[in-house]
A and B are shown apart, each in its own frame.
Chain A
Amino acid sequence: GAVVSQHPSRVICKSGTSVKIECRSLDFQATTMFWYRQFPKQSLMLMATSNEGSKATYEQGVEKDKFLINHASLTLSTLTVTSAHPEDSSFYICSARGERDWYEQYFGPGTRLTVT
């Protein structure tokens, strides 16, 4: 149980285009989902927290108009990187937290974004 999927696993896009990444909780309802970014040889940095049906809360320094987050249902959250630039190239990981094990986050497999 507690499986989180992400799609796509890898994506290459041209500078100036937008990319959407999906995060799904497959066998539980995720009341809260988190989006992280990880640059090479660095740790995970929290970008934003999203609760189903409400606006995402962004961490300091993360542009909410550039990284659009939608948490439309209890099993799906999406992150859209708008007007992508090469410096947005990174490993994006989502995690989900259910109602039962409130303290634990279940991580998705990650999405490798490369902007050319």
Chain B
Amino acid sequence: GQNIDQPTEMTATEGAIVQINCTYQTSGFNGLFWYQQHAGEAPTFLSYNVLDGLEEKGRFSSFLSRSKGYSYLLLKELQMKDSASYLCAVSSNDYKLSFGAGTTVTVRA
């Protein structure tokens, strides 16, 4: 089975940095994804990690440690439009995605 944990909510100030942690226990591993989802909309792809280390893409970075079953998404220079739910998802051996419950990030002015 799959077990993916991430915090329920986080609040940060505009311009600040927020780190969303995700821990997972899965049967088989083919990579970890981060998605952004605004209310009532479909998820949009942010990042994909399959090897250990940090992947940087503009204001967003994602880190993976396979031995620890741990990942984080780092959001820098927060903007109001970054207020959304962030979903951690793990791809198993059959390439199916299992999603965490999502972390709602609220950016305050």
Contacts and interface: CB of A to CB of B under 8 A. Distances in A.
Interface of A: 32, 34, 42-46, 49, 91, 93, 97, 102-110, 112
25 contacts: A32-B95, A34-B97, A43-B87, A43-B99, A43-B101, A43-B102, A44-B87, A45-B99, A46-B97, A46-B98, A49-B96, A91-B40, A93-B42, A102-B95, A103-B30, A103-B50, A103-B91, A103-B95, A104-B48, A106-B45, A107-B35, A109-B41, A110-B40, A110-B41, A110-B42
Contacts of A97: 95
Nearest to A105: B97
B28 interface: no
Interface residues of B, number: 21
Given A32-B95, A46-B96, A107-B44, 11 more contacts: A34-B96, A34-B97, A44-B43, A44-B97, A49-B96, A91-B40, A97-B95, A103-B30, A103-B50, A104-B45, A110-B41
The B interface is mostly helix, strand or loop, or mixed, namely loop
A42 B35 CA distance: 14
A33 to B, nearest CB: 12
A44 B102 CA distance: 9
Contacts of A105: 97
A43 B96 contact: no
A103 B48 contact: yes
Contacts of A104: 45, 48
Contacts of B45: 104, 106
A84 B99 CA distance: 26
Contacts of B96: 34, 46, 49
B1 to A, nearest CB: 10
B66 to A, nearest CB: 15
Contacts of A42: 101-102
Interface string B12-38: 000000000000000000110001000
Given A44-B43, A109-B41, A103 B31 contact: yes
A107 B101 contact: no
A104 B35 CA distance: 11
Contacts of B43: 44, 93, 107
